Amino acid sequence: MPKSLQPQTRAIRGQMDQTDYREHSTPLFLTSSFTFDSAEAMAETFAGQREGIIYSRYNNPSVDELIRKACALEGTEAGFATASGMAAVFASLAALVEAGDHIVATRALFGSTHQLLTNVLPKWGVTFTYVEPDQPESWAAAVRPNTKLFVTETPSNPGLKLVDLAAAGKLCKEHGLLFIVDNCFATPVLQRPADFGADLITHSATKWMDGQGRVLGGLLLGTQVVMDKVTTFCRHTGPAMSPFNAWVISKSLETLHLRMKAHCAAALEMAEWLRKQAAITQVHYPFLESHAQYELARRQMTAGGGLVTFELAGGIAAAQRLLNALEVCTRSSNLGDTRTILTHPATTTHSKLSSEERASVGISDGLIRMSVGLEAVVDIQEDLLRGLSY
Ligand SMILES: *Cc1c(COP(=O)(O)O)cnc(C)c1O
């Protein structure tokens, strides 16, 4: 294949070599291990002197195909696929820190990532400091001599605050920090952190990458140097993705560009419509001019994403009334699906935080997170009206 192909073409055409059966669609290699022609070939493969696949905890053709396509999309050199997004996030931290190291992270991280920083890594003597995602001028003050990583996520969940990736890249370069970005919400279609100097990108492929709410998956994508460390860690600790899930997600990447375009167009239309509803006091969407970081959003993202959040004047009661009135959209905690999903963070995903902690990350009692699907926008609007007009 020509080397100059666009990422979206490589996500379609980057499939593994055809087998002797000359299948058109990519095959599924549902096998735990692989065989060798001779004892010598086996020895050489184990010694790394010969190309070959040994065991699916290390690699597998279906999983490798997904990794190659994801690398083409993110513009990274190497990757590893994991069973879930959290397995990827955990490996990204655990593989790169040692006892005594310190992490600087932007506040408002995914809930389980917050758990890793606060409850898991401290057991091994790794500490962290939170900085405000929208105040890059304050970040350098948090860096210590033992700071190893800068960890961030943009747009954030569910506040949809943005982190200036160019500023983060600059900070990491100046202080010699490894730069890690959870790019789950934006996907490489909307932003490529590697272009801003990110060393390692993590994904929950469960979300927009699968895009149809079927399987769990995670990805670690980065520079060869960093991925060498991360891959060794993963091969021996065992978070490998199932070949079946890799096959599903690899097929889904063929339509990622098309789907994200449609999700973003529908989300923008929904955001503008929500602003006109009397029961709603505020709408958060990166590509609305009213978003506090609209300029930054236009600079580092090609579209605003598939998530919209909004605040209901009536607090918890109004939020629950809206969710209970839905007949088309779904009440669920997932996101990144063809089906529109509504969540009430204060009583579900973020219910374990105190109300002060929730306020500090922008989660009011009346906040609703909506993952906009691919249904006709008019049907989503009419569904929401059932619970908004009373
Ligand atoms: C869902 C999610 C994760 C975790 O992914 P799983 O596949 O559920 O393990 C991590 N980061 C972000 C931003 C997410 O939305």
- How far, in Å, is the centroid of ligand 1 from the Cα of 204? 5
- Which amino acid residue places its CA nearest to atom 5 of ligand 1? 85
pLDDT tens string 278-315: 999 999 999 999 999 999 999 999 999 999 999 999 99
The structure's pTM equals 0.96
312, containing H or E segment: strand 307-312
Given a cut of 80, whether residue 171 has pLDDT beyond it is: yes
Tell me, using a 6 A CB cutoff, whether residue 218 lines ligand 1: yes
Contacts of 208 by beta carbon, 8 Å cutoff, 6+ apart: 184, 187, 256, 259, 260, 263, 306, 336
- How far, in Å, is the centroid of ligand 1 from the Cα of 217? 9
pLDDT tens string 97-137: 999 999 999 998 998 999 999 999 999 999 999 999 999 99
**Domain 256-388 coded CATH 3.90.1150.10:** yes
Instruction: Please state which CATH class domain 7-255 belongs to.
Output: alpha beta
Q: Which of 44-48, 77-81, 141-145, 264-268 has the lowest mean pLDDT?
A: 44-48
pLDDT tens string 311-335: 999 999 999 999 999 999 999 999 9
What is the rounded radius of gyration, in angstroms, for the C-alpha atoms of the chain?
A: 22
Tell me the percentage of the chain whose pLDDT exceeds 70.
100
| Ligand 1 atom index nearest CA of 207 | 1
- How far, in Å, is the centroid of ligand 1 from the Cα of 214? 14
H helices present in the chain, as ranges: 7-13, 39-46, 61-74, 85-94, 111-115, 165-175, 187-190, 224-237, 243-253, 256-275, 294-300, 315-325, 355-360, 377-388
- Which amino acid residue places its CA nearest to atom 1 of ligand 1? 204
- Per-residue pLDDT at 87: 98
- Per-residue pLDDT at 355: 85
User: End-to-end alpha-carbon separation of the chain, Å?
Assistant: 59
Average pLDDT value over all residues in the chain: 96
Given a cut of 90, whether residue 349 has pLDDT beyond it is: no
The average pLDDT across 232-260 equals: 98
Given a cut of 70, whether residue 390 has pLDDT beyond it is: no
Q: Which of 104-108, 180-184, 199-203 has the lowest mean pLDDT?
A: 104-108
- How far, in Å, is the centroid of ligand 1 from the Cα of 207? 7
Residue ranges covered by each domain of the chain? 7-255, 256-388
The average pLDDT across 42-59 equals: 94
Tell me, using a 6 A CB cutoff, whether residue 206 lines ligand 1: yes
Tell me, using a 6 A CB cutoff, whether residue 185 lines ligand 1: yes
Contact between 249 and 215 under an 8 Å Cβ cutoff? The reply is yes
Tell me, using a 6 A CB cutoff, whether residue 68 lines ligand 1: no
